[in-house]
Amino acid sequence: MNTAVIINLLIQLVAGAAGGNGLGKMLQQFNLGPLGNTIAGAIGGLAGGSWLAPMITAGAGAAATASNTGLDLSTIAGDVVGGGVGGAVLTLIVGIVRKMFVGRAP
């Protein structure tokens, strides 16, 4: 793995954690707590960043190809947006599932 790929994954992790914690602050009924929001957000950030970032960079008019793993501004912006959205979405899904099972007897 080259350094640019690792940096892109770290950006997606951090953006996902931020997206998960941001959603937890905005929608208190789906808040998983700081650790839960961070973990769900980071996992969602990896998934969202991997799926959304190539679409965002291609949609921004960048010359993005499947092998584009550089550290240009459009790639970083795609990682931040994709990771943040992915982290927020996964945190929301986990929060909804958790809310559905709260109060039910095992």
The span from the CA of 58 to the CA of 42, in Å, is 23
What residue type is assigned to position 100 of the chain? Answer: M
**What are the tokens at 12?**
């997606």
The span from the CA of 37 to the CA of 71, in Å, is 27
Would 106 be classed as within a structural domain?
Answer: no
Would 24 be classed as within a structural domain?
Answer: yes
DSSP state for residue 66 in the 8-state scheme? T
Residue-wise pLDDT tens digits, 21-71: 999 999 999 999 999 999 999 999 999 988 887 787 776 554 444 445 567
Domain count, the chain: 1
The span from the CA of 44 to the CA of 30, in Å, is 15
pTM, to two decimals: 0.82
The domain of 23 spans 3-61+70-101
The span from the CA of 106 to the CA of 34, in Å, is 25
Would 12 be classed as within a structural domain?
Answer: yes
